[in-house]
C-alpha cells in the first residue's frame, strides 16, 4: 500500500501541470527548492506565533493559523481545500461535508474550554480527540500537520500548559504521533499528549 498522498485535481487547481509543483508566490518550480523556501518561511511565522500567540476562538482559528504560516508561499493560505485527498488508500474527509465537520470540531473546542485547568488527563483526552478530528478533516491542500500541531499548542497554552508535538531529534514522539494520526488511535494520541504537556512555568 502506498503511503504517499493522492489528490483528485483534474483541473490543476493547485499545481503547475508542467512541473507538478504547487503554484506558489515565489514562482519556485523545483520541488526541493520549494520545500526549503517553504520551511524557512513557515519557521519564521511559527516564531511569531510563539512570541504573540493568538487566542483559539473556534474552527476559524485553524484557518487563521494556516493563513499566518503560509501567507508568504501560497495565495490560498487560510482557505479550505477544494480537492479530495487520500493517503495510503484512506480518504480524508470529503469536501462536500466540511460544514458538518466544522460544527463538530467547534463543539469539541467548546468542551475543551470547559475542562478545569488542573485536570491534565481530561485535557489530554480532549486534545487527542480534537487532533484526531482535525487530522481526518485535513482541511488544507498543504500544511495540515504543521497547522494542527500549532493549533493544539495554542489550545494547551490557554490552560497554562506547554505542548510541543514536534520536538527536535525525538523519534519516539514522531512515531507515536504518526501512529496515532494515521491509525486514528485516540488512545495513543492521549498518552502522547499527556506525556508531553507540562505547566508553563515548570
Q: How confident is the model at residue 2 (pLDDT cuts 50, 70, 90)?
A: very low
5-199: CATH class: mainly alpha
Chain segment 142-160, per-residue pLDDT in tens: 999 999 999 999 999 999 9
Provide the whole-model pTM.
0.95
Helices 59-70 + 144-157 axis angle, to 10: 120
Q: How confident is the model at residue 89 (pLDDT cuts 50, 70, 90)?
A: confident
- pLDDT number for residue 199: 85
Chain segment 98-146, per-residue pLDDT in tens: 999 999 999 999 999 999 999 999 999 999 999 999 999 999 999 999 9
Residue 53: Cβ within 10 Å count: 13
Amino acid at each position: 500500500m502506498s503511503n504517499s498522498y493522492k489528490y483528485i485535481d483534474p483541473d490543476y487547481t493547485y499545481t503547475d501541470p508542467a512541473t507538478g509543483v504547487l503554484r506558489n508566490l515565489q514562482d519556485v518550480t523545483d520541488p526541493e527548492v520549494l520545500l526549503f523556501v517553504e520551511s524557512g518561511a513557515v519557521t519564521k511565522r511559527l516564531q511569531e506565533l510563539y512570541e504573540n500567540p493568538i487566542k483559539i476562538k473556534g474552527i476559524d482559528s485553524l484557518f487563521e493559523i494556516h493563513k499566518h504560516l503560509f501567507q508568504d508561499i501560497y495565495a490560498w493560505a487560510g482557505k479550505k481545500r477544494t480537492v479530495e485527498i487520500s493517503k495510503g488508500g484512506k480518504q480524508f474527509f470529503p469536501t462536500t461535508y466540511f460544514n458538518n465537520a466544522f460544527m463538530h470540531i467547534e463543539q469539541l473546542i467548546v468542551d475543551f474550554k470547559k475542562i478545569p485547568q488542573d485536570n491534565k488527563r481530561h485535557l489530554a483526552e480532549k486534545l487527542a480527540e480534537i487532533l484526531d478530528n482535525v487530522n481526518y478533516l485535513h482541511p488544507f491542500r498543504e500544511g495540515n500537520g504543521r497547522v494542527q500541531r500549532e493549533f493544539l499548542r495554542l489550545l494547551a497554552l490557554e490552560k497554562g500548559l506547554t505542548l510541543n508535538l514536534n520536538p527536535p531529534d525525538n523519534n519516539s514522539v514522531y512515531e507515536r504521533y504518526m501512529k496515532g494520526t494515521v491509525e486514528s488511535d485516540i488512545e495513543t494520541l492521549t498518552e502522547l499528549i499527556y506525556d508531553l504537556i507540562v505547566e508553563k512555568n515548570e
